[in-house]
Amino acid sequence: MPLYGAIEAGGTKFVCLVGTGPENVRGRVRFPTTTPEETLSRAAAFFQQADEPLLALGIGCFGPVDLNPDSPTYGYITSTPKPGWQNVDVVGYFQKTLGVPVAFDTDVNAAALGEHLWGAAQDVRTFVYITVGTGIGGGAMVEGRLIHGLIHPEMGHMRIPHREEEDPFPGICPYHGDCLEGLASGPALAARWQEEPHRLPADHPAWDLEARYLGLAIANLVCTLSPERIILGGGVMHQTHLFPRIRHVVRETLAGYVQHPALLDHIDQYIVPPALGDDAGIFGALALAIQVTRSA
């Protein structure tokens, strides 16, 4: 049986997997993201040891990345603040070392594709996948296609109302201060409350504030993309008590203007966790590999 390779390339860790889907995983490894040289060669070595030759490799990558196939820097990580990783040719490296077709997208677009193929978005063609963890990112599929557009969506950096009299925390985004990621990512929670987020009890005021910021962002996405579903993954969303609070904020923010049963009677099936859980990203990368061989 032909096998595919997948990489979830994150700023703190890499996950590599060989298989054909969630039901057939032949090998899997994770290791910390260090220098590009060390990290990429470790990934390549893992795939070179696979039992069967790979048909293709899919990579869901932290960014920003260049997704324009006509660009001379296609497949590069571009302007990331992560030291040493600016202008790294990720796709070129694996094409050279493995000699197989390489599919490349953002980590969150990959996760969206994984959820579309095997998870919580199998029955819809327009939806958003958002991860809330060390950063906040969003991927989107519209009418069955992942959005790239100008560069790729950077939903984590959208601006949302920040009432400084209620929340004087200035935010931690090095570019914008109090953008969504600056206010509501895991590190923002830790900095605001001086506590690791997973140690904050469910009745801590941190969570109502968190739900408000995420709910406002999602209401904006409902108004701009008209998604048929919103999937919320990432470490912060392990706090499952956030889901009902976020749904409440979304409904309140939309104030009855966007009328659809999904937002009224069925909002608990509209704003949902990823069915693949923390594996949405790695299986999404695998889905990218499968997709590239189908389109070839």
Sign of the dihedral through C-alpha 261, 228, 111, 232: negative
Please pick, from the candidates 26, 176, 238, 248, the single residue that binds Zn ion as defined by CB under 5 A.
Answer: 176
Q: How far is the CB of 281 from Zn ion (least distance, A)?
A: 21
Tell me if 159 contacts Zn ion by CB under 5 A.
no
Taking the C-alpha atoms of residue 272 and residue 13, their distance in angstroms, rounded to an integer, is 25
CB closer to Zn ion, 173 vs 189 = 173
Q: How far is the CB of 234 from Zn ion (least distance, A)?
A: 16
CB closer to Zn ion, 105 vs 178 = 178
* Burial of 3 (C-beta count, 10 Å sphere; 0-12/13-18/19+): buried
Tell me if 179 contacts Zn ion by CB under 5 A.
yes
Cβ proximity of 246 and 212 under 8 Å: no
Closest CA to 27 of 13, 43, 40: 43
Please pick, from the candidates 157, 159, 204, 238, the single residue that binds Zn ion as defined by CB under 5 A.
Answer: 157
Query: According to DSSP H, which parts of the chain are helical?
Result: 36-48, 90-98, 107-118, 180-184, 186-193, 205-225, 242-254, 261-264, 280-295
CB atoms within 10 A of CB 216: 22
Q: How far is the CB of 179 from Zn ion (least distance, A)?
A: 3
Tell me if 173 contacts Zn ion by CB under 5 A.
yes
Tell me if 204 contacts Zn ion by CB under 5 A.
no
Tell me if 82 contacts Zn ion by CB under 5 A.
no
Q: How far is the CB of 73 from Zn ion (least distance, A)?
A: 22
Which residues sit at the interface with Zn ion, rule CB under 5 A? 157, 173, 175-176, 179
